[in-house]
Chain A
Amino acid sequence: MRVVAAMSGGVDSAVAAARMLDAGHEVVGVHLALSQHASRLRESARGCCTIEDAGDARRVADRLGIPFYVWDLADRFRRDVVEDFVAEYAAGRTPNPCLRCNEKIKFAALLDRAVALGFDAVATGHYARITDGADGRELHRAVDVAKDQSYVLGVLTGQQLARAFFPLGDTTKPDIRVEAAARGFAVASKPDSHDICFIPDGDTQGWLERRLGEQPGQILDRGGAVVGRHTGTYRFTVGQRRGLGLDRSTLDGSPRFVTAVDPARHVVTVGTADLLGVDAIEGHHALWCGRAPDGVVAVGAQVRAHGEEVPATAWADGDAVRVSLERRLRGVAPGQSIVLYDGSRVVGSATISRAFTSDG
């Protein structure tokens, strides 16, 4: 097959490209230029879109003897990922930009472009496995549970999976580093990237404030009493404990958490931990890996990357999903994605619209 290997300049995508080549595919390396103003050198372990990273990817491609190109998808990334991220926070929700990037960029803009240019598939260095099941391609958790990235790939449909390769899903991260070193890749010991690639200093709140400006408001307790002030609801997410700066403490001194964010009224509501647990979730923008489940099905539900999976039942209803959790989960914010599993298999995902307790 003719395959585009998406090469970030990191160790994982380097080994993924090498493995595709070993498997006998015709491989072309492509680095995605996603930043509007790429800085020349990496200044931290975060982020992944500097010119130095593009250079690292190029050197791996040189070593593999494959053609290498930089494709400029910065406009699409800004529109579909960065602006969406800002709008979601402005609306009081907590988005996951990595899912959005996989849905809109890596397995849409990049894949579509690759197919238009005569390629059959895109390979990435994600830790997840694709298998052939009775109903077509299936997405499964990686062998390395600590690195498993099936959560951020939960947005992929069967059609997208049919044109995707994740060659690292059967290997642990330490083994990938050993393999990279054995292959002579200079990036073998390059640090992992963390957090959000377009916020290289990791200060999401400061980054949002520069875009949304100060929007001061009140912090209320459950009874409606003013217990503090804030400079923007986008600084808060449900379940957050740190950085609340409350003037009044609870009578028994127990810690308080954000329980609701209301950007229209500029109000953040806080409460004690017992108010955080939810066992019912409604989601929209449902995406299924293969067929949508029929009727009520038993699943495992995960609401954040590397979060715990809890047993649940789910019911698909068009674009919507209702999920009933067997155990309460804390700190579930609207805007987060819920990914549903059947064993190690990803069933599908949805964006959380509402999380609540079934007993009211």
Chain B
Amino acid sequence: MTGTAYLDHSATAPLRPAARAAVVEELSRVGNPSSLHGAGRAARQVVEESREALAATLGAHPSEVVLTSGGTEADNLAVEGTFRARRAQDARRTRLVVSAIEHHAVLETAEHLAEREGAEVTWVLPGSDGVVSPDAVRSAISGDPGSVSLVSVMWANNETGVVQPVREIVEVARQFEVPVHSDAVQAFGHVPVDFAASGLDLMAVTAHKLGGPVGVGALVARRDASLQPLSHGGGQERDVRSGTLNAAGARGFAVAAGRAVGELAEEAQRLSTLRDRLIRGALDIDPGIAVTGVWEAGDGIRRLPGNAHLLVADCDGEALLYLLDAAGIACSTGSACRAGVSRHSHVLTAMGIGQQDGGAVRLSLGWDSTAADVDAVLAALPAAVAGARAALAVSR
């Protein structure tokens, strides 16, 4: 194999050079941001400046940004922390209204609360286009609004890249005075995300999907959000999150987010053009290849500009992934993996797409993607599809 075309930005994006430089510089300095001496104060300054810069890119107030270890922790804190706090205020609030296409960080947290803490989860299904409609959220809440502790609908889906009508869903929930959380891990830095304008109560973001370092994220939480901490210690972050503050991570996140949001408009256009060529080229291979969810050429608003999620009929998704990998194309099925074994995606199931409908592959572009990457995929795809179909045929 000669070289690798990296089309798995939705799994993790390459570190932006500016973010790398910032992280390396910060890692070479000593100082606990909670210490009171000069080194500590300097580190604290880095954290707070980073928080302010991040807040500006998020449309949030700095005090609303709770730094975490990443998106998963932020989602856990949002769902579990809110459930516990709001149920403590009113014991009737045992219900979680959760979209069926959430990331496992939300899904498993809700399941855990159902199994261990008496939560009742009302799952909201998307349409076959992958969109969770505000009306579906309304009917999920309206049966018994007083019992709902939280609504959770992600901003953009990590498999299909379909952007959800978060603003409209918040309006619905607000009529019932129910708080809303959104996992914006895939959306932030790729489509316009404005926390204040969205009306959300809580929002999870992470650095490494937009070119920042792995291991740092944030829960954006309104000042009046009710949250119980999940971990206990020094209470460094608003008394809801403990642990030594990660100055290098915070600065790397802020730098990467600044770049991503600063160039978002032109990048969205550039990437959706590349994506459209990729999707069209795939669809041209044969009629058994389809794109999942909403897709309109030139649209970088209703679907992530860099996301091409393909469903290939009569094909084994794992085999397709292997053959593309062997051809130097890095991508993923987008579905959950456990010890390297992929299971049929809950997102596709919720959209009414079954295992018998084919194998899925997610090709995701980002800041360093080029036309050559798309060329490489389109060159490798026909043979990979043929091979993966042969692999399925023998496994029956």
Segment of B177-185, B197-205, B321-329 in the binding face: B321-329
Question: What does the 1/0 interface line of A62-82 toward B look like (CB < 8 Å)?
Answer: 000001011110101000000
Q: How far is the CB of B337 from chain A (nearest CB, A)?
A: 9
Find out whether the CB atom of B387 lies under 8 angstroms from the CB atom of A76.
no
B231 interface contact, C-beta 8 A: no
Find out whether the CB atom of A117 lies under 8 angstroms from the CB atom of B340.
no
Contacts of A70 in B (CB 8 A): 339-341
Q: How far is the CB of A286 from chain B (nearest CB, A)?
A: 24
Determine the distance from Cα of A58 to Cα of B340 in the docked complex, in whole angstroms. Answer: 10
Find out whether the CB atom of B391 lies under 8 angstroms from the CB atom of A117.
yes
* Known A69-B322, A117-B387; contact A112-B340, beta-carbon cutoff 8 A: no
Find out whether the CB atom of A116 lies under 8 angstroms from the CB atom of B394.
yes
Contacts of A118 in B (CB 8 A): 323, 387
Find out whether the CB atom of A54 lies under 8 angstroms from the CB atom of B322.
no
Contacts of B395 in A (CB 8 A): 76, 109, 112-113
Q: How far is the CB of A263 from chain B (nearest CB, A)?
A: 32
B24 interface contact, C-beta 8 A: no
Minimal Cβ-Cβ distance residue in B for A113: B391
Q: How far is the CB of A173 from chain B (nearest CB, A)?
A: 28
Find out whether the CB atom of B393 lies under 8 angstroms from the CB atom of A71.
no
Question: Chain B: interface secondary structure?
Answer: helix
A51 interface contact, C-beta 8 A: yes
Contacts of B323 in A (CB 8 A): 117-118
Determine the distance from Cα of A28 to Cα of B1 in the docked complex, in whole angstroms. Answer: 14
* Known A67-B325, A116-B390, A117-B391; contact A54-B319, beta-carbon cutoff 8 A: no
A33 interface contact, C-beta 8 A: yes
Determine the distance from Cα of A109 to Cα of B319 in the docked complex, in whole angstroms. Answer: 13
Contacts of B394 in A (CB 8 A): 109, 112-113, 115-116
Find out whether the CB atom of B318 lies under 8 angstroms from the CB atom of A72.
yes
> Number of contact residues on B: which range applies?
10 to 19
Find out whether the CB atom of A71 lies under 8 angstroms from the CB atom of B387.
no
Of residues 282 through 338 on chain B, the ones whose CB sits less than 8 Å from some CB of chain A are: 318-319, 322-323, 325-326, 338
Determine the distance from Cα of A28 to Cα of B322 in the docked complex, in whole angstroms. Answer: 11
Of residues 127 through 173 on chain A, the ones whose CB sits less than 8 Å from some CB of chain B are: none
Determine the distance from Cα of A28 to Cα of B390 in the docked complex, in whole angstroms. Answer: 19
A31 interface contact, C-beta 8 A: yes
Find out whether the CB atom of B319 lies under 8 angstroms from the CB atom of A113.
yes
Q: How far is the CB of B396 from chain A (nearest CB, A)?
A: 10
Q: How far is the CB of A313 from chain B (nearest CB, A)?
A: 38
Minimal Cβ-Cβ distance residue in B for A33: B341
Find out whether the CB atom of A72 lies under 8 angstroms from the CB atom of B319.
no
A181 interface contact, C-beta 8 A: no
* Known A109-B395, A113-B395, A117-B319; contact A69-B387, beta-carbon cutoff 8 A: no
Minimal Cβ-Cβ distance residue in A for B391: A116
Determine the distance from Cα of A51 to Cα of B322 in the docked complex, in whole angstroms. Answer: 20
Contacts of B340 in A (CB 8 A): 31, 33, 54, 58, 69-70
Query: Which of the residues A31, A58, A116 comes within 8 Å of B387, measured between beta carbons?
Result: A116
Find out whether the CB atom of A51 lies under 8 angstroms from the CB atom of B387.
no
Determine the distance from Cα of A28 to Cα of B340 in the docked complex, in whole angstroms. Answer: 15
Minimal Cβ-Cβ distance residue in A for B394: A112
Contacts of B338 in A (CB 8 A): 38, 51
B342 interface contact, C-beta 8 A: yes
Query: Which of the residues A33, A67, A76, A109 comes within 8 Å of B326, measured between beta carbons?
Result: A67
Q: How far is the CB of A133 from chain B (nearest CB, A)?
A: 28
Find out whether the CB atom of B339 lies under 8 angstroms from the CB atom of A71.
no
Determine the distance from Cα of A132 to Cα of B23 in the docked complex, in whole angstroms. Answer: 60
* Known A67-B325, A109-B395, A113-B395; contact A72-B341, beta-carbon cutoff 8 A: yes
* Known A112-B394, A113-B391, A116-B393; contact A38-B318, beta-carbon cutoff 8 A: no
Of residues 86 through 114 on chain A, the ones whose CB sits less than 8 Å from some CB of chain B are: 109, 112-113
Determine the distance from Cα of A126 to Cα of B254 in the docked complex, in whole angstroms. Answer: 54
Contacts of B341 in A (CB 8 A): 33, 70, 72, 74
Determine the distance from Cα of A201 to Cα of B245 in the docked complex, in whole angstroms. Answer: 46
Of residues 331 through 390 on chain B, the ones whose CB sits less than 8 Å from some CB of chain A are: 338-342, 387, 390
Of residues 3 through 50 on chain A, the ones whose CB sits less than 8 Å from some CB of chain B are: 28, 31, 33, 38
A28, A113, A115: most-surrounded residue (chain B CB, <10 A): A113
Contacts of A33 in B (CB 8 A): 339-341
Find out whether the CB atom of B318 lies under 8 angstroms from the CB atom of A71.
yes
Determine the distance from Cα of A28 to Cα of B319 in the docked complex, in whole angstroms. Answer: 13
Q: How far is the CB of A55 from chain B (nearest CB, A)?
A: 8
Q: How far is the CB of A187 from chain B (nearest CB, A)?
A: 17
Minimal Cβ-Cβ distance residue in A for B390: A116
Determine the distance from Cα of A89 to Cα of B345 in the docked complex, in whole angstroms. Answer: 36
| 24 A-B residue pairs with CB within 8 Å | A31-B340, A33-B339, A38-B339, A51-B338, A54-B339, A55-B339, A69-B340, A70-B339, A71-B318, A72-B318, A72-B341, A74-B341, A109-B394, A109-B395, A113-B319, A113-B394, A113-B395, A116-B387, A116-B391, A116-B393, A117-B319, A117-B322, A117-B390, A118-B323
Interface residues of B (CB under 8 A from A): 318-319, 322-323, 325-326, 338-342, 387, 390-391, 393-395
Q: Given contacts A70-B341, A72-B318, A117-B387, could you give 9 more A-B pairs where the C-beta distance is less than 8 Å?
A: A38-B339, A51-B338, A55-B339, A67-B325, A69-B318, A69-B322, A69-B340, A109-B395, A116-B387
Interface residues of A (CB under 8 A from B): 28, 31, 33, 38, 51, 54-55, 58, 67, 69-72, 74, 76, 109, 112-113, 115-118
List the 7 closest A-B pairs by CB distance, nearest first. Answer: A70-B340, A112-B394, A116-B390, A51-B339, A116-B391, A72-B341, A33-B341
